[in-house]
Chains A and B, each alone.
Chain A
Amino acid sequence: MASDLSKTHFEAAMALTVHDVKNSLALFLDRVEALQVHDEVAGNKYADFKYEIKRINNNLVRLLALYKVGAENFALQDDFHYIDDFLAEIGAEYSAVLRDKNIELIIDCPDDLNCKMDRGLVYGVLDNAINNAARYTQSKIMLKALEKDGFLILSVQDDGAGYPEQMLKENQQQENCNTDIDISNSTTGLGIFFSHIVAGLHQSNGKTGSIHMANQGDLGGSCFSIHLPSEDASHIEF
């Protein structure tokens, strides 16, 4: 590769490509929605389309974010957000798709909970977790938020069979040893890798965000959670 093709060139090319693909996806999504509206026996046959469009898009966003973090050209776009609104928005986006798949989406979040975070990145983390949950759940997915010990805990839970023991063990080992996460083996690994990066970028008052995976959640199945250092805007005095 010629040395002229610098990092900035690559980044510009990447950004333009993402922009273009996003336009295509937006149109594709529109066509699918239009078809669905006019198809009285639509049933759930369009759900997969919409679901895959979202996946392509979120993968792209994730790739771009990871590239930027790697290129040290990254600034956390963190700001205060109300969590009930954040989850309601995710709920609005997913509930139709999930309903088509006969999955019920439940949101459990106290009023007035707010936190400083990079909304786009945390969205990417939850999106990944919801996609996973949708694959393994029986009938329900829950988005839950609570504040505990100075952390905001956002979790995605389901009523499926839970994570395989082997996966939990590996994840635990990686957390304990702080080793690099292996992303070579599967896309699930990539999603978890991304989640760890995002969590780690959220730091405040000596606290750092983290990712946790467990079984036997509130719905009996898997429980994926991201813990973010809690910063509450309502404490600010003017």
Chain B
Amino acid sequence: MNGLDILVGGKSPKGQSGSQVSISGRQILIVDDFSDMRIAVRRMLRDLGEENADMAGNGKDAIDKIQHNSYDIVLCDYNLGDGKDGHQILEEAHHMGFIKPSCIFIMITAETSRHHVLGAIECQPDDYIAKPFTKELLQHRLVKAVKKKDALMDIYEAMFAKRFADAIKIAEHKLASKSRYTLDIAKLLGSFYLRTEQYDQALAFFQKILNQNYMPWAKFGLGQAYYYLGKYADAIVLFDELTDECEYFMEAYDWSAKCNLALDKKIEAQERLAMAAKISPKTISRQCELGELAKENGELDIAGSAYRAAIQFGAHSCFKSSKEYLGMNDVLLERGDTLKALSNLKEARDQLKEDPADLLQVVTATVDVHAGKGGTVEANKFLEQAEKIYQENTDAIPDEASLKLAATALKLDDVKFGTAIVNNLAESNHDDEALLNKLKAVVSDTGHADELSEIISKSTETLRALNKKGIQLAESGKLKESLELLEAASEKAPNSKAFNLNTALACIMLMKQDGANDQLLFKARHYLDRVTKMGKADKRHAELSKMLEALKK
């Protein structure tokens, strides 16, 4: 067999030059839940001269392998039984930064028609191959994908490094001369305009394309530009047209719902989500969103069945969360069915025992349900469990969950525990007025309003002063002292966005002054990552990340 000749040629220059061996040594991963199929694909690859193929039988295994190996090619079946689907794997692997720009990701599907999710532009497979396929077809597609990757490599590199300004420059330059990849480049460029918030530019770009030829992706892009420019009604028209034209255009339903929500049309938004959920019921986040909306709209039956679907499909996947169980809990309580509510929460505790943040929220809800029906003993038993989870995992608990737990503990008159939570929350969020207001509201409902308010203001003031001092030190050029102080404060209030970001900034400023070094690079990354993990990454976080990347060069 002659191997994927062109793949050898397509390799980066540091590949084994000189020795033109027939095996090009590409690292390949085959993902399929069907073991015979994995072996069949591996045999094909061997026939094509590719010997290095790993195999994964489910989503978790696939993500694991992708994380620990730098694959050149991933061949992934779209339908993976009850677990994740191929698109979720690609998204997750991408999200975690496990996929390198040169990696070729090919989705293997059962049908030729492409009613697949589109998702973010970075999370799109390089090609789709319909089953069954011959090795000749596989070879043809791989060669084609390699050629395209090579031709657009500089764009992908900039995109993966989130250097969108560079990506735009390269794409605009490439677009000036016609090539086989002109439309691929245009699609990327349009999404970059959106990503960099150049909405007027994006609007003009997509509109110009649509004036010349109809392409669904351009219409979708135009709809997004309208949304960001606040033209919700115009956007809705486009998204609804897209779903009329192709009922499998899942994102278009989601975007239409989003636009309707922006106009406070909750019924219409619910309808769009319901249509999408009917066609693609396995997307748990959408089912939860539908449940939430239906609940708000007073449609308990619809809410209940949405949450039920989310629970059912989430049970075997890594996408399960407390959200669907808590939503179901609300529905059941509203119907007055306390017994069912308790058994739902019991199932939730079983399902979510691995994740402290989710588990804590479910346990808190359990305390509330027991307390609500007068079961003080049971309520206190679960509150104890909640306290244990909280103490052991304080850093991993989202603020909203802590707030609820604080309210629950104070209601049951566990003042010591309640106070501890309030204090932690105040320290971590001294910079977040909105959350502090919520915290004050929680406290004011209890019998200890005055003492607790006092604690809140004391904690926030102390930390604010500390933060201010750190900034002053930095401004007066005492960067090392500033970093020391901020770092200590970050450790005291590890969930404080302000401290973590300021500590990262201090590291960056110090490196700007004295030059980059590994220790500070690592430290800055650590504090930025903390903020990402808390789900609090914002514009400032993005700016700091960019500054940090620039220092690495």
Partner-B contacts on A (CB < 8 A):
15, 18-19, 22-23, 25-30, 33-34, 37, 50, 53, 57, 61, 64, 73, 75, 77, 79-80, 82, 85, 88-89, 92-93, 95-96, 112, 116, 120, 123, 231, 233-238
| 4 A-B pairs with least C-beta separation | A26-B132, A30-B40, A120-B112, A19-B110
Binary CB contact string for chain B from 110 to 141 against chain A (1 if under 8 A, 0 otherwise): 11111000000000000000111111110111
* A112: nearest chain-B partner, CB-CB: B180
Interface residues of chain B: helix, strand, loop or mixed (majority): helix
Contact A26 B186 (CB under 8 A): no
Contact A26 B40 (CB under 8 A): yes
Contact B137 A235 (CB under 8 A): no
13 pairs from A and B in contact (CB 8 Å cutoff): A19-B111, A22-B132, A26-B40, A26-B133, A33-B135, A75-B246, A77-B114, A89-B137, A92-B137, A93-B134, A93-B136, A237-B208, A237-B212
Q: Which B residues lie within 8 Å of A236 (CB)?
A: 182-183, 186, 209, 212-213
A30 to B34, CA, bound (A): 14
Q: Which B residues lie within 8 Å of A235 (CB)?
A: 212
A64 to B178, CA, bound (A): 37
The one of B43, B139, B209, B246 that contacts A34, using a Cβ cutoff of 8 Å:
B43
A48 to B246, CA, bound (A): 38
A214 to B61, CA, bound (A): 55
Q: Which A residues lie within 8 Å of B111 (CB)?
A: 15, 18-19, 64
A75 to B34, CA, bound (A): 30
Q: Which B residues lie within 8 Å of A79 (CB)?
A: 215
Q: Which A residues lie within 8 Å of B182 (CB)?
A: 233-234, 236
Q: A80-B183, A233-B182, A235-B212 are in contact. Are A22 and B131 (CB under 8 A)?
A: yes
Contact A27 B112 (CB under 8 A): no
B354 within 8 A of A: no
* A88: nearest chain-B partner, CB-CB: B140
The one of B34, B133, B141, B183 that contacts A233, using a Cβ cutoff of 8 Å:
B183
B411 within 8 A of A: no
Q: A18-B111, A34-B43, A234-B178 are in contact. Are A53 and B183 (CB under 8 A)?
A: no
B168 to chain A, nearest CB (A): 13
A95 to B182, CA, bound (A): 30
Contact A29 B113 (CB under 8 A): no
B36 within 8 A of A: yes
Q: A22-B131, A26-B37, A120-B112 are in contact. Are A85 and B246 (CB under 8 A)?
A: no
Contact B137 A29 (CB under 8 A): no
Q: A27-B37, A93-B134 are in contact. Are A77 and B213 (CB under 8 A)?
A: no
B245 within 8 A of A: yes
A33-B47, A112-B180, A234-B182 are known contacts; what are 18 more A-B pairs with Cβ within 8 Å?
A18-B111, A22-B131, A23-B131, A26-B40, A28-B132, A29-B134, A30-B39, A33-B43, A33-B134, A75-B246, A80-B183, A88-B140, A92-B140, A233-B183, A236-B212, A237-B208, A237-B212, A238-B205
* A79: nearest chain-B partner, CB-CB: B215
The one of B37, B113, B183 that contacts A23, using a Cβ cutoff of 8 Å:
B37
The total of chain B residues at the interface (CB under 8 A) is: 43
B341 to chain A, nearest CB (A): 32
A30 to B44, CA, bound (A): 8
* A119: nearest chain-B partner, CB-CB: B112
B304 to chain A, nearest CB (A): 22
A98 to B109, CA, bound (A): 26
Binary CB contact string for chain B from 208 to 237 against chain A (1 if under 8 A, 0 otherwise): 110011010000000000000000000000
Contact A231 B175 (CB under 8 A): no
Q: Which A residues lie within 8 Å of B44 (CB)?
A: 30, 33
B144 within 8 A of A: yes
Contact B43 A23 (CB under 8 A): no
A19 to B209, CA, bound (A): 36
Binary CB contact string for chain B from 429 to 463 against chain A (1 if under 8 A, 0 otherwise): 00000000000000000000000000000000000
Q: Which B residues lie within 8 Å of A96 (CB)?
A: 134, 136
Q: Which A residues lie within 8 Å of B79 (CB)?
A: 19
Contact B208 A92 (CB under 8 A): no
A27 to B140, CA, bound (A): 20
A73 to B141, CA, bound (A): 29
A184 to B209, CA, bound (A): 45
Q: Which A residues lie within 8 Å of B180 (CB)?
A: 82, 112
A34 to B37, CA, bound (A): 13
Q: Which A residues lie within 8 Å of B209 (CB)?
A: 236, 238
B3 to chain A, nearest CB (A): 15
B330 within 8 A of A: no
Q: Which B residues lie within 8 Å of A28 (CB)?
A: 132
The one of B131, B140, B212 that contacts A89, using a Cβ cutoff of 8 Å:
B140
Q: Which B residues lie within 8 Å of A73 (CB)?
A: 247
B203 to chain A, nearest CB (A): 14
* A16: nearest chain-B partner, CB-CB: B110
* B189: nearest chain-A partner, CB-CB: A238
Q: Which B residues lie within 8 Å of A22 (CB)?
A: 110, 131-132
B1 to chain A, nearest CB (A): 9
Q: A89-B140, A92-B140, A231-B213 are in contact. Are A18 and B110 (CB under 8 A)?
A: yes
B546 to chain A, nearest CB (A): 27
B101 to chain A, nearest CB (A): 23
Q: Which A residues lie within 8 Å of B245 (CB)?
A: 75
